[in-house]
């Protein structure tokens, strides 16, 4: 259930990535606590402002176990133990050290979620003894002290058996999930949250090959404006009492080697996913080393990249199924070797020559201090009819 996405708010300079940008861990928890005991009130991990609080009788609903105790958790990181919820409906809470990262702090709410920040949340989870969809499990981003505290559930929403998100809990938008995923199987879930003016963009990967993936996401959507100051581990329902968590990490920034800021989410194409564009290399003009990559495309699809100094959000241009995320004077990379094919992988890429950037009036050299935007057009087929689509947009501030 992936909905077609509306364009993001544009015209705002977001987090500018440089050649040295990378994801910095800001909170971690590997559950290095005594095995077989509750971790209520214990202070391990990094980046937290208080100790764990576990609710329920005797504060014992969450224990630390290792794989000497059944059920085993195949995704346990092997460091210390892992968290096991042994009573349905109970929760474990931990508050984040907000002051340690003022660049993430929203000044109006004093919570994380500042516009322009990029946040990463990752953890390993298993819903043990699955078999029914009646229930939920996951890590929630929480607004402690508020009457409606759940900002975003990361995991498996109520009455689902697939991995995804649930925005604003029971009061917000319907859950979204990755069709065909299986929440009864252990998974490493990785989420990237781009905090934008208005709605935020959330990308999700299930068992990605790298800790901070840059390729096409399994889920790419928007959520309401996100602010939070705490996490909650929780599960409830009739699927069984045991849920396991391990290796929780929050990070900030963009993946090392990636360049630019994505904006203006794409419509889904015939693969069921939205095409994505990324930049690899450096934004330093004198290095002349920037490669564009388009991913999550239909296989064996022809396409090419476009560029402009202006952003846009034009729906269905020329009968396309997509959204054109650039505007103004648009240049097309259609010279020799620049019309590409996605092949069996559903990706294509192009190494740019920054001294030969196409515009409607000819080739120009990109200069330090300029901002350029990129997207990719590609052919597609829907219901047997030939059409086309676009990836999202990529803004690059050149240095």
Residues 23-71 pLDDT 10s: 889 999 999 999 999 999 999 999 999 999 999 888 999 999 999 988 8
Give the pLDDT confidence score for residue 393 in this predicted structure.
95
Give the pLDDT confidence score for residue 256 in this predicted structure.
60
Whether 273 and 181 map to the same domain: the answer is no
Whether 150 and 216 map to the same domain: the answer is yes
Whether 140 and 40 map to the same domain: the answer is yes
Is 121 domain-assigned?
Answer: yes
Give the model's confidence band at 284: pLDDT under 50 very low, under 70 low, under 90 confident, else very high: confident
Q: Which residue has the higher pLDDT, 152 or 295?
A: 152
Is 18 domain-assigned?
Answer: no
Whether 220 and 330 map to the same domain: the answer is no
Give the model's confidence band at 3: pLDDT under 50 very low, under 70 low, under 90 confident, else very high: very low
For range 262-289, the mean pLDDT: 87
Instruction: Show Cβ contacts of residue 78 under 8 Å, excluding neighbours closer than 6 positions.
Output: none
Is 319 domain-assigned?
Answer: yes
Number of domains in the chain: 2
Whether 229 and 266 map to the same domain: the answer is no
Give the model's confidence band at 170: pLDDT under 50 very low, under 70 low, under 90 confident, else very high: low
- Give the domain CATH number at 187: 2.60.120.200
Q: Is the predicted pLDDT of residue 328 greater than 60, yes or no?
A: yes
Give the model's confidence band at 317: pLDDT under 50 very low, under 70 low, under 90 confident, else very high: very high
Please state, in angstroms and rounded to a whole number, the distance separating the CA atoms of residues 206 and 164: 9
Is 4 domain-assigned?
Answer: no
Whether 154 and 54 map to the same domain: the answer is yes
Is 241 domain-assigned?
Answer: yes
Whether 127 and 109 map to the same domain: the answer is yes
Is 7 domain-assigned?
Answer: no
Whether 274 and 248 map to the same domain: the answer is no
Q: Which residue has the higher pLDDT, 357 or 2?
A: 357
Whether 298 and 218 map to the same domain: the answer is no
Q: Is the predicted pLDDT of residue 240 greater than 70, yes or no?
A: no
Give the pLDDT confidence score for residue 117 in this predicted structure.
85
For range 284-306, the mean pLDDT: 91
Whether 314 and 170 map to the same domain: the answer is no
Q: Of the given ranges (323-332, 344-353, 371-380), which has the lowest mean pLDDT?
A: 344-353
- Give the domain CATH number at 290: 2.60.40
Whether 195 and 317 map to the same domain: the answer is no
Is 9 domain-assigned?
Answer: no
Give the residue numbers spanning the domain of 90.
24-252
């Amino acid at each position: 259930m992936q909905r077609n996405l509306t364009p993001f708010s544009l015209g705002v300079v977001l987090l500018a990535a440089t050649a040295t940008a990378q994801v910095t861990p800001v909170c971690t928890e590997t559950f290095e606590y005594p095995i077989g005991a509750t971790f209520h009130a214990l202070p391990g991990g990094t980046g937290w402002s208080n100790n764990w609080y576990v609710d329920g009788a005797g504060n014992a609903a969450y224990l630390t176990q290792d794989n000497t105790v059944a059920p085993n958790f195949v995704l346990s990181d092997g460091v210390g133990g892992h968290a096991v919820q042994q009573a349905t409906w109970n929760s474990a809470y931990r508050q984040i050290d907000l002051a340690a990262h003022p660049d993430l702090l929203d000044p109006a709410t004093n919570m994380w979620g500042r516009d322009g920040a990029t946040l990463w949340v990752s953890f390993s989870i298993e819903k043990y003894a699955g078999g029914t969809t009646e229930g939920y499990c996951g890590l929630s981003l929480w607004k402690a002290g508020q009457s409606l505290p759940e900002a975003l559930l990361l995991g498996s929403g109520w009455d689902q058996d697939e991995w995804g998100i649930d925005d604003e809990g029971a009061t917000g938008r319907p859950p979204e999930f990755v069709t065909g995923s299986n929440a009864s199987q252990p998974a490493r879930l990785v989420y990237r949250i781009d905090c934008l003016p208005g709605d935020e963009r959330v990308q999700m990967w299930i068992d990605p090959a790298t800790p901070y993936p840059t390729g096409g996401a399994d889920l790419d959507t928007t959520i309401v404006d996100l602010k939070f100051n705490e996490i909650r581990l929780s599960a409830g329902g009739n699927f069984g009492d045991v849920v396991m968590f391990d290796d929780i990490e929050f990070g900030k920034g963009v993946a090392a080697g990636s360049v630019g800021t994505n904006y203006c989410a794409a419509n889904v194409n015939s693969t069921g996913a939205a095409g994505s564009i990324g930049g690899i290399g450096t934004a330093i003009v004198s290095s002349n080393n920037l490669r564009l990559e388009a991913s999550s495309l239909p296989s064996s699809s022809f396409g090419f990249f476009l560029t402009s100094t202006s952003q846009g959000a034009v729906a269905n241009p020329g009968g396309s199924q997509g959204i054109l995320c650039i505007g103004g004077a648009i240049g097309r990379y259609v010279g020799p070797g620049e019309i590409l094919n996605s092949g069996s992988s559903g990706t294509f890429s192009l190494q740019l020559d920054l001294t030969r950037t196409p515009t409607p009036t000819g080739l120009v050299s990109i200069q330090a201090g300029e901002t350029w935007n990129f997207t990719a057009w590609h052919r597609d087929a829907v219901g047997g009819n030939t059409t086309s689509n676009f990836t999202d947009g990529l803004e690059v501030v050149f240095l």
